Structure 1
Amino acid sequence: MDLFHETPEQQQLRKSVAELAQRYGLEYYVEKARLNEDTSEVWADAAKAGYLGVNIPREYGGQGAGIYELQIVSEEFAAAGCPLLFLPVSAAICATVLMRSGSDEQKKRWLPGFADGSARMTFAVSDPAGGSNLHRIAAHARRDGDEWVLSGRKVLVSAVDLCDAMMVVARTEDPVSGKPRMALFIVPPDLRGVSYERVPMALTAATGQFDVVFDEVRLPAGALVGEDMTALRDLFTSGLNPERITFAAWSTGLGRFAIDRAVRYLNERRVWNSTLGAHQGLAHPLAEAKINLELARMCVHKAAWLYDNGQDNLGEVANMAKFAAAQASIKAVDQAVQVFGGHGMTERSGVGIVYSMVRVAHLAPVSREMLLNYVAQHTLGLEKSY
């Protein structure tokens, strides 16, 4: 593809994903969320169709495509009102990190399962001590013979109850200099010493958030991701940027969902001998929301293209895409609610309930403020502020 035209294969993927997602929709998703149940039926169907492994190499059972295709999958499920919040975590972070830094054994163990939906892995980085500030992470791992011993806590870890393993960021010591450094470990949640507790959330989501405690958890040497502990460096280039891109697509999909609902209502509702859509007070703000959403989508597509083509300025554009998508989707949902008036906050409108979903886009997987810090420092060349 180029930056403005999707290939016939990408267009077909978008159409096929949308058709599958629309078989479920918002009502199904909300019911699952309220029952604290997993959207297992959607996940299984998406896996069967090859959507979960679209970016995984064919030799591991995937489709051999890229992050552009993965963000298509993320966007279209969200646009149907059935967002797969866990997709950016398992497929975008964990899978890409293992593809780049994992050992042959780790790739053979996990990538085929990611592709066929039989395995899931979540990502644990935020510490109570310093949030996502890697310099303040307190969770640590020490060598003990051929094993690692992991201790510490992580907060707001997605879907621990549904996962076969967590990819955990922890402090270690350089074996030569003794200086502190960071490393990644694969940790199954059923190991002795691992405990977790669900955190009540003001969020309509079928994926729970958990606080996790590691109490002297013993890990085999093969739990370390990356030789010589280089995986953390690769995490930023191969893991966090795809997560930002895929999550940004998730956001724009929800924005599309809200605008589509609002447009349908504006075309159906008649007052004063005309449809509501004929009134500029409602039509113009919604048109502006649509424009901003399309601009954000262009930025997301550019970031995905840059990643798949190995371009150097990926980090800058991925952060911009994440910021723009969150801004545009929040405004789109807000305007959609305004279109419905008081009915916008009823369940039957289908837009008010999306508020909490899109609002989280300014908080996770990285906050709006940290995105602005990145652009200020790396794009504008301003002095680092933290």
Structure 2
Amino acid sequence: MTTLLESDEHKSLREAVSAFARSHPRATGPAEARHFWQEAGKLGYIGVNLPEAYGGGGGGVTELSLVLEEMGAAGNPLLMMIVSPAICGTVIARFGTDEQKQSWLPGIADGTRLMAFGITEPDAGSNSHRITTTARRDGDTGDWILTGRKVFISGVDIADATLIVGRTEDARTGKLKPCLFIVPRDTPGFHRRQLDMELHATEKQFELTLDDVRLPADALVGDEDAGLLQLFAGLNPERVMTAAFAIGIGRYALARALDYARERTVWKTPIGAHQAIAHPLAQAHIELELARLMTQKAAHLYDAGDDMAAGEAANMAKYAAGEACVKAVDQAVHTLGGNGLTREFGLASLITAARVARIAPVSREMILNYVSHQTLGLPKSY
């Protein structure tokens, strides 16, 4: 499924990823997901957005979102694609030291190394300005010492390190500023607790505790005075990739429903011939296509370096894709009736997965706040 906005290279990439993803069974457990990840890495799909000098494909978020969408449409959406190459890989490629790039980017690109991303906190939620995880310098050694908590952090158990968002105190103003630190998985004082989730996913969710975690000076990514610039360099790709994740899931669910509606016959007529079945599926397809166009726009703006316009478009794309995904999955399950809730057809587990696209990494209500304030110029209520 291609659009007029795509180049011949993008169309070829989409076709190749689709063929690869469909040749693998749907991953239902961590081992299968890991195998799929490794195979995708060998083919260059995981690091398609990273610089060629570090083993990547030299593309951007446009290409990476295309890869994730096609994986999702084949039934294998990889949540860590949003995290490892899109957020962490992008931030390190843009702001990391030469040593950090050499150490992390080749492994992230070929899928042999994983990096998680820790920003969300129990009391801060979506408000990055209220992050309380703090980083202070040890005056004697120059080391960083991190203290704080994170929650709903994906894949920490399988990641080699987590890119943690902390805050340093500006001695001149007394204000806390966000900074990014690479925290290896087995660092002393870095503890994780798996959250008991109803959501069925191959990637687990964790609460993190940083108890005076000591890091060398070179664990800092970028400039400690850069503020929000470095943080949002990773968050905009995260929104674009979440949109692609949602569109892929929506397309997968819709395809299963269409197959069923063509084949399931009641009173000698396929149920897809009835408008009560056909029209909602057509509407789901239209909404997924509209969301995809917005996602492509956001990706192109980000890759062109227009961070401000990309931020607006990425939020809109994430909103549109989340809504379209939930509706597509709901209609697919409804089309199959009781069969939509059986393991045989594999749609029931998508009901909760689709909700994730509405909730994370930022809720639809916070996106509406962003658009009303930043785009429409309306006053804040908070």
Q: 2:12: which partner in 1?
A: 12
Deviation at 1:182, TM superposition (A): 1.7
2:210 to 182, 193, 214: 214
1:296 to 274, 277, 291: 291
Q: 1:321: which partner in 2?
A: 317
Q: Distance in 2 between matches of 1:204 and 1:273?
A: 37
SS for the counterpart of 1:149 is strand
Q: Distance in 2 between matches of 1:222 and 1:383?
A: 42
Is 1:341 matched with 2:337?
yes
TM-score (norm 1): 0.95
Q: Name structure 1 gaps, 5 residues minimum.
A: none
Encode CA deviations 1:80-114: one digit per residue, 9 max, x unaligned. Answer: 11110111111111111111111111111111111
Distance 1:283 1:256, change over 3 A: same
Is 1:45 matched with 2:39?
yes
Maintained 8 Å contact 1:184/1:231: no
Maintained 8 Å contact 2:177/2:227: no
Q: Distance in 1 between matches of 2:38 and 2:349?
A: 25
Is 1:86 matched with 2:80?
yes
2:125 to 104, 125, 131: 131
Which letter maps to 2:286?
A: I
Deviation at 1:175, TM superposition (A): 4.4
Aligned residues: 378
Q: Distance in 2 between matches of 1:357 and 1:335?
A: 15
2:153 to 150, 157, 163: 157
Q: Distance in 2 between matches of 1:95 and 1:260?
A: 32
Q: Distance in 1 between matches of 2:3 and 2:66?
A: 14
Trace 1:117-266 onto structure 2 (pairs within 5 A): 117-145=111-139, 146-230=142-226, 232-236=228-232, 238-266=233-261
SS for the counterpart of 1:166 is strand
Encode CA deviations 1:130-165: one digit per residue, 9 max, x unaligned. Answer: 223223222111110310111111111111101111
Trace 1:99-114 onto structure 2 (pairs within 5 A): 99-114=93-108
SS for the counterpart of 2:314 is helix
Which letter maps to 2:321?
A: A
Which letter maps to 1:9?
A: E
SS for the counterpart of 1:86 is helix
More off after superposition, 289-298 vs 223-232: 223-232
Q: 1:375: which partner in 2?
A: 371
Maintained 8 Å contact 1:3/1:301: no
Deviation at 1:176, TM superposition (A): 4.1
Q: Name structure 2 gaps, 5 residues minimum.
A: none
Encode CA deviations 1:336-359: one digit per residue, 9 max, x unaligned. Answer: 111111211111122222111111
Which letter maps to 2:331?
A: Q
Which letter maps to 1:328?
A: A
Deviation at 1:177, TM superposition (A): 3.9
Maintained 8 Å contact 1:265/1:340: yes
Encode CA deviations 1:17-67: one digit per residue, 9 max, x unaligned. Answer: 1112112243xx22x0xxx55611111101000001100011011110111
Q: Distance in 2 between matches of 1:12 and 1:123?
A: 31
Deviation at 1:3, TM superposition (A): 7.9
Distance 1:152 1:231, change over 3 A: same
SS for the counterpart of 2:201 is coil
Is 1:274 matched with 2:269?
yes
> In percent, how many aligned pairs have the same letter?
51
Maintained 8 Å contact 1:225/1:231: no
Q: Distance in 1 between matches of 2:32 and 2:191?
A: 20
Deviation at 1:227, TM superposition (A): 2.2
Deviation at 1:369, TM superposition (A): 1.2
SS for the counterpart of 2:79 is coil
More off after superposition, 67-76 vs 348-357: 348-357
2:53 to 59, 67, 77: 59
Maintained 8 Å contact 1:300/1:322: yes
Q: Distance in 1 between matches of 2:40 and 2:222?
A: 29
Which letter maps to 1:235?
A: L
